[in-house]
Structure 1
Amino acid sequence: MSPDLHFILFLLLRMAIAAAFVVSASVITERSGPAIGALVATLPVSAGPSYVFLAIDHDAAFIAQGALSSLPINAATIVMGLTYVVLAQRHSMAVSCCSAFAVWIAIASVIRLFDWTLAAGLAANFIAFGICIPLLSGYRHVKMPLVTRRWYDIPMRAALVATLVAIVVSTSSWVGARISGIIALYPVVFSSIMLILHPRIGGPPTAAVLANSAWGLLGFGMAIAVMHVAVERFGSPVGLFLALATCVMWNLTLWWNGRRAQRIEA
């Protein structure tokens, strides 16, 4: 087998694996309502496979450096979410989504200009989430109408995440760790939620899913920080595992606290 054919086949396999992750998460999200769906949406279903495949191709130093760029990008994602949530209450999908995407691209463009440290990345997250979470709290509780899946929903989500993985894997060697870390954190799941649900159920219910994602996304940011530290000390496999464990435990804690609050109110 020629090296080029081997690369193409291996890339297609990676894309298929990543697509399978996001499709599974999407089905769970649709069937569980905005609160649980938001927690599933903030699991690393797109960034996780991207980083796993980066770890296959690059050493631990590359992964650790990429995580430093990914950390402030997580803050950009919550600002993007807030932009969409506010605009979606009164405006069309085109206005809401395009504005949200423009905000993310603008912030990411600024982030790539700097060499980030762990402390600076954490500070960016705490400031962004400290501002955005209170502002999003008023948009969380919206009755979700029945969602009927269309034939193109899952293929579109799979195509989005597969394309992201293909870009990250195929360009990482020449764009470097910093840009790879930024690209890996592009909010594929948030984008698919906005593009698929908004025209079907309206802006406010779709915005409720993203508003409920704020606390889960905060935990995702902490998982990135854990990955950076753990990869530097213990290597990529251990670092990636600890990052995933951090995400899962954080979201399970949020779910348990939500259930307990419901029992108290009842």
Structure 2
Amino acid sequence: MSLDPSFLLLLGLRMAIAAAFVVSASMIAERTGPVIGALVATLPISAGPTYVFLALDHDAAFIAQGALTSLPINAATIFLSLAYAVLAQRHSVLVASATAVAVWLGLAALIKTVQWTLLMGVAANVVTFAICLPLLRRYRHARMPLITRRWYDVPLRASLVATLVATVTSVSGWAGPSVSGMLALFPIVFTSMMLILQPRIGGPATAAVLANGAYGLIGFSLAVVVLHLGSLHLGAAVGLSGALTTCVGWNLGLWWLGRRRRTA
């Protein structure tokens, strides 16, 4: 890692921008309930800025290869949501969140041992959704109490995201695209929500946010596919733009469907 002042300045700017995205999105989630909160939480508010910064430092082939690893990592995040939703009903935030993150880390370690192709990554997500979505359905509905924000909420969230960005930026030069792709999808938004929301609103309500987020992660997996194909054939800028459009469009579609059902 370089200690050049210009590098440190740019790194600090990247950390601040990414942290601002995540903190703003998590505040929206707190005020709008589990369904809307989940749609906001599954937008690429952490992975997006991280991939943009990677694209500034590396070529399109690096981004395309990183996306291949990010695709199965998305499946690991769904299992993290399931593990947390089950444990949060009866256990403390420490037990539930630590176990959920341990599940993610264990799956990530397994994923790292495999040379992934696009077809394999898509298959991993399809199988994971088929298993986890029915199991998460019972945890999707919970009352969201009124939240009073504490003084350390914003600094904690900002520091978590800033640390992720600093880590990915610092290690990507020597770690390669696969590890960078894994780090880019570390579930920092979900983890921060576990740590901050459960002590205030309880495990079931926090679990409802993550359980509803599984449907948003379907769109996120499609966005990663678009990122890979777009970067591979048309360049990183096209891949990133297409991935963002896919993710936002999917979540808007989920919001519209939910609103239509409530109206009906």
Post-superposition offset of 1:187:
0.2
Q: Deviations over 1:57-81 (max 9, x none)?
A: 0000000000000000000000010
Post-superposition offset of 1:23:
1.5
Give identity over the alignment, percent.
Answer: 65
Q: In structure 2, do the counterparts of structure 1 residues 98 and 3 end up closer, same or farther at CA, with 3 Å as the change threshold? A: closer
Task: Give the match for residue 213 of structure 1.
Answer: 213
Aligned length: 263
Post-superposition offset of 1:90:
1.1
Taking the aligned partners of 1:63 and 1:108, their CA distance within structure 2 comes to 19
Counterpart amino acid of residue 9 in structure 2: L
Q: Deviations over 1:1-39 (max 9, x none)?
A: x97111111100111111111121112111111100100
Taking the aligned partners of 2:30 and 2:94, their CA distance within structure 1 comes to 22
Q: Deviations over 1:43-66 (max 9, x none)?
A: 000000000000000000000000
TM-score (normalised: structure 1)? 0.97
Post-superposition offset of 1:199:
1.1
Q: SS at 1:213's partner residue?
A: helix
Task: Give the match for residue 44 of structure 2.
Answer: 44
Residues 54-203 of structure 1 aligned to structure 2 (within 5 Å)? 54-203=54-203
Unpaired stretches in structure 1, ≥5 consecutive residues: none
Task: Give the match for residue 249 of structure 2.
Answer: 249
Taking the aligned partners of 1:183 and 1:104, their CA distance within structure 2 comes to 12
Taking the aligned partners of 2:21 and 2:141, their CA distance within structure 1 comes to 28
Counterpart amino acid of residue 130 in structure 2: G
Post-superposition offset of 1:98:
1.1
Counterpart amino acid of residue 126 in structure 1: V
RMSD: 1.0
Taking the aligned partners of 2:65 and 2:128, their CA distance within structure 1 comes to 22
Q: SS at 1:98's partner residue?
A: helix
Q: Deviations over 1:108-163 (max 9, x none)?
A: 00001111000000000011111111111111111111111111111111111111
Counterpart amino acid of residue 97 in structure 2: C
Post-superposition offset of 1:92:
1.3
Task: Give the match for residue 25 of structure 1.
Answer: 25
Taking the aligned partners of 2:133 and 2:82, their CA distance within structure 1 comes to 9
Taking the aligned partners of 2:29 and 2:66, their CA distance within structure 1 comes to 28
Taking the aligned partners of 1:16 and 1:204, their CA distance within structure 2 comes to 32
Q: Deviations over 1:90-114 (max 9, x none)?
A: 1111211111011000000000111
Regions of 4+ moved over 2 Å: none
Counterpart amino acid of residue 201 in structure 1: I
Taking the aligned partners of 1:201 and 1:64, their CA distance within structure 2 comes to 39
Unpaired stretches in structure 2, ≥5 consecutive residues: none
Taking the aligned partners of 1:19 and 1:143, their CA distance within structure 2 comes to 28
Q: Deviations over 1:168-188 (max 9, x none)?
A: 011101000000000110000
Counterpart amino acid of residue 237 in structure 1: A
Task: Give the match for residue 14 of structure 1.
Answer: 14
Counterpart amino acid of residue 141 in structure 2: H
Taking the aligned partners of 1:96 and 1:23, their CA distance within structure 2 comes to 22
